[in-house]
A = this chain, B = another copy of it.
């Protein structure tokens, strides 16, 4: 069966560790080059698969697109992810769709699906690499290393805040499970990209109007 990202195939880290002395969000190269997001028409006309797309990705898309619309909606995506033993909350699904389409349309086409597929595969590999005892959880210092391997070097204070937000285990030792790890990665990636859009000169600081600040932040709140 063609697999939604859940195994350990593929390379671990396409981004590389940001060099020392860079601002926290790393160098431009940490962001993966040209925009991987859909066209502004993504909500009207399905995009197409990039040339050379792994046939497994295409098969997985077609299996997920249960109504054959050429798009995958939020329920289809949640079902597809769940069928590969990955249970994601609808909140995480919506955050995935928001970040991979840059819109609130809640539909993804082939092109965005391909990006999402490879990102999830990459994050799964990273999670498994750091979950050394296969407990299904990683701790705070492993989260720090995992984010670093994706090019996000967060400060100890930010790390603490992330762990306090995404630890849903209720245990006395702080730990993050896979679905919350994905939500955490999406949040850090999403906020960092939004910040970077405003920090075009890579100075490490960004200026927002009140309107753009609210429009940047609100989509990350509880959905």
Question: A residues near B, CB below 8 A?
Answer: 23-25, 91, 104, 154-155, 157-158, 161-162, 164-165, 187, 191-192, 195, 199, 204-211, 213-215, 217-223
Contact = CB atoms under 8 A, between A and B. Distances in A.
Main secondary structure of the interface of A (DSSP, over half): helix
A198 to B, nearest CB: 9
B104 A218 contact: no
A142 B116 CA distance: 38
A223 B165 contact: yes
Contacts of A191: 213-214, 217-218
B25 A187 contact: no
29 contacts: A23-B210, A24-B210, A24-B211, A154-B214, A157-B211, A158-B215, A161-B214, A161-B215, A161-B218, A187-B218, A187-B221, A191-B213, A191-B214, A191-B217, A192-B210, A195-B208, A195-B210, A195-B213, A205-B208, A205-B209, A205-B210, A206-B208, A206-B210, A207-B208, A217-B220, A220-B220, A220-B221, A221-B221, A221-B222
